[in-house]
């Protein structure tokens, strides 16, 4: 699986942790985020990552900022992107099963009750259920039009 990952200065260490975990699982990660804590604007990172994803060649995207909130809001402004912001492993599983997001976001300054690695595994190990959930995803995507 090929993942595009972007982050701002509030999630440098988290991004490194995510890449390390995914690479041990055989994923290929393209890092378009920053590697220092020098201030950058998360909407710019989200836009670059989403545009690269939409252009093709990636299975999913991951975005990280201090809380995950701003970067996920930014991503969700891009046509064709559904970015989820799970709080725990259950939410990671449920969003994948029911919302079929193509991006997932996390906060580098958030203390999650579950390990990030477990949340990622829950997300990537879950299949989209389709059916009534596809109808809802279609309605979400129709809002963009």
Residue 45, annotated ligand binder? Answer: no
Q: Catalytic one among 29, 50, 64, 98?
A: 98
- In the residue annotation, 83 being an active-site residue is answered as no
If phi over 0 gives left and psi between -120 and 50 gives alpha, with beta otherwise, what is residue 83?
beta
Q: Decide: helix, strand or coil at residue 9.
A: helix
> How many Cβ atoms from other residues are within 10 Å of residue 40's Cβ?
16
Catalytic entry in 64, 65, 93, 133: 65
Catalytic status, residue 64: no
Q: Is 109 annotated as a binding residue?
A: yes
Q: Binding site, residues? A: 8-9, 66-70, 99, 109, 132, 136
Q: Summarize the annotated binding site for D-ribulose 5-phosphate as residue ranges.
A: 8-9, 66-70, 99, 109, 132, 136
Where in the sequence numbering do the catalytic residues fall?
65, 98
């Amino acid at each position: 699986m090929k993942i595009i990952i972007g982050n701002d200065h509030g999630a440098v260490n988290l991004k490194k942790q995510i890449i390390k975990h995914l690479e041990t699982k055989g994923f290929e990660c393209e890092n378009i985020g920053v590697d220092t804590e020098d201030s950058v604007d998360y909407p710019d990172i989200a836009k670059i990552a989403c545009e690269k994803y939409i252009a093709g060649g990636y299975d999913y995207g991951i975005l990280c900022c201090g809380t995950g909130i701003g970067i996920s809001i930014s991503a969700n402004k891009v046509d064709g992107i559904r970015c989820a912001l799970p709080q725990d492993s259950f939410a990671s599983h449920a969003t994948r099963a029911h919302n079929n997001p193509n991006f997932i976001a996390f906060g580098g300054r958030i203390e999650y009750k579950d390990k990030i690695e477990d949340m990622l595994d829950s997300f990537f190990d879950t299949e989209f259920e389709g059916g009534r959930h596809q109808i809802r995803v279609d309605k979400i995507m129709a809002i963009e039009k």
